[in-house]
Every structure is written in C-alpha cells, then in structure tokens.
Amino acid sequence: MIVFILMVTIGGNVVSRDCDVALCFEDINRCLYFAERINQQPQGEDIVAFCQPLNANEGSRYYR
C-alpha cells in the first residue's frame, strides 16, 4: 500500500521517516495541506515540510 508521509526537517535534520512517528495519509491532498500550513508559519528555525510517497505495511498507521 502506498501512503504519503509528511516529512518535516528542522535545521536540515529529518524528524521522522516512518508512519509510527510521523503523520501518514492515504490522500496526497491532505498531506499537502498540512505541509503548506507548516511552511507558512513564521519560523525561528529552519523548518521545512513536504510530502513523500512511502510503501507502508498493512498494519501501518495512516489517516484516510
């Protein structure tokens, strides 16, 4: 199953790379919505969010 993971980097370091910790979505548009909201925030640090496809296991946690 392919899901879209919301990747967040802080100062160039990726916060998480799997659906157990990060937010994963079945729909790319929901993922892009949250990435856009994070990127529009006034930032003190270098914070960047983007969506990336991920092959998830059947038991992975994701939002529909």
The full DSSP string for 3-64 is EEEEEEEETTEES--STTTS-EESSHHHHHHHHHHHHTS--SS-EEEEEEEEE--TT---B-
- Domain that includes residue 18, residue range: 2-55
pLDDT of residue 61: 83
Overall number of domains in the chain: 1
The pTM is what? 0.86
pLDDT of residue 17: 85
Residue 63 belongs to a domain:
no
Residue 61 belongs to a domain:
no
Residue 24 belongs to a domain:
yes
pLDDT of residue 37: 95
Residue 41 belongs to a domain:
yes
Residue 8: Cβ within 10 Å count = 19
Cα–Cα dist 2/25, whole Å: 9
Per-residue confidence of the chain (64 residues) as pLDDT tens digits? Answer: 899 999 999 988 999 888 888 999 999 999 999 999 999 988 777 899 999 999 988 888 888 8
Residue 62 belongs to a domain:
no
